[in-house]
Amino acid sequence: MSLLLFAAFGAGSLVLAPAALLLRRPERFQRVVRAAWLPLLALFRLTRLVTAERGNLPRCEGTLIVSNHPSLIDVVIYVCLVPKTLYVAKHPLRSNFFLGAIVRATSLPDGADLPAVASEYLAKGWNVLVFPEGTRSPAEGLHPFRRGAAHVALESGAPVVCSRLRVSRRILAKGQPPWDMGPEPVVYSFDADEPERFAPLPDETPRKAAIRVTDHFRRRLAADCASSRLDS
C-alpha cells in the first residue's frame, strides 16, 4: 500500500510539472501543489499509514518556521497543515529530473541571497520553512546546523517558530526503504514554541549574531528531542 501511494505521488508530480513550468513563481503555484497534496495526506490517513496531528503548532502568517527534519514527507505535512508555506530547498532537489520543476516552483533556493528573498516573502505574509540541518535528521540527535535560518530571522525581523516534528516510528529516513512503515499507523505531531523575534545585539557583527541565533535554534529543537520519536 505504501509503495502504491508513493507511486501515485510520483505520477501526480509528473502531471503537475507542466503547470509548475508555466506558473513558475512560488506564490502562483504553491496553492496548486497544496490542493493536490491535501487529498494525498487524507489518503494516507484513510489507509492507516500516516496521521498528522497539528498539536500546538500556532497559526502562522509571515512566520519563519525552523524545524528538525525526520523524514522525506515533512515538507508535504507542513505545507498541508500550514497554508501559504514555502520551504527552502538545496540545489540537488531543485535540479532533480522528476521533482525539480515542482520544487523550484514551491521553494526558495538555499544560497547567499536567501535572507533577502525570504524576507520579501515573509513581508507579504508567506511563511518560510527552513530545516537548518540541510538534510534529514539522524536517528538520534541532530546534524550540525547551517546559519541560513538565523540570517533570515535577523534580516527579516519576522516572528520565528521553532517546531519539533515528532514521529511515532522512524520512516522514510535516509537509506530506509519506503515500504518499511510498520504494522501500526505512523503519527506525526508538532511540539512548537511560541513565536519570537531576533535582532543583532549592540556592537555585534552579523556573523556573531548568526552564530548566536543558530545556537539558540539548536538548543530549542534539541529540547526534549534527543530523537524525533514520540514517547511510546
Half-sphere exposure of 205 (CA within 13 A, CB side): 3
What's the pLDDT tens digit per position in 110-149? 888 999 999 999 999 999 999 999 999 998 889 999 999 9
CA distance 132 to 214: 8
Domain count along the chain: 1
Residue 230 pLDDT > 60: no
Residue 18 lies in a domain: yes
Instruction: Assess whether pLDDT exceeds 60 at residue 40.
Output: yes
- CATH code: domain of residue 206: 3.40.1130
Supply 82's cell numbers: 500550514
| Structural domain boundaries, residue 145 | 2-222
Dihedral pair phi/psi, residue 164, rounded to 5°:
-90, 110
Is residue 187 exposed (0-12), middle (13-18) or buried (19+ Cβ within 10 Å)?
middle
Between 127 and 177, the more confident residue is 127
Looking at per-residue pLDDT, the higher value among 101 and 174 belongs to 174
Burial of 68 (0-12, 13-18, 19+ CB in 10 A): buried
Residue 215 lies in a domain: yes
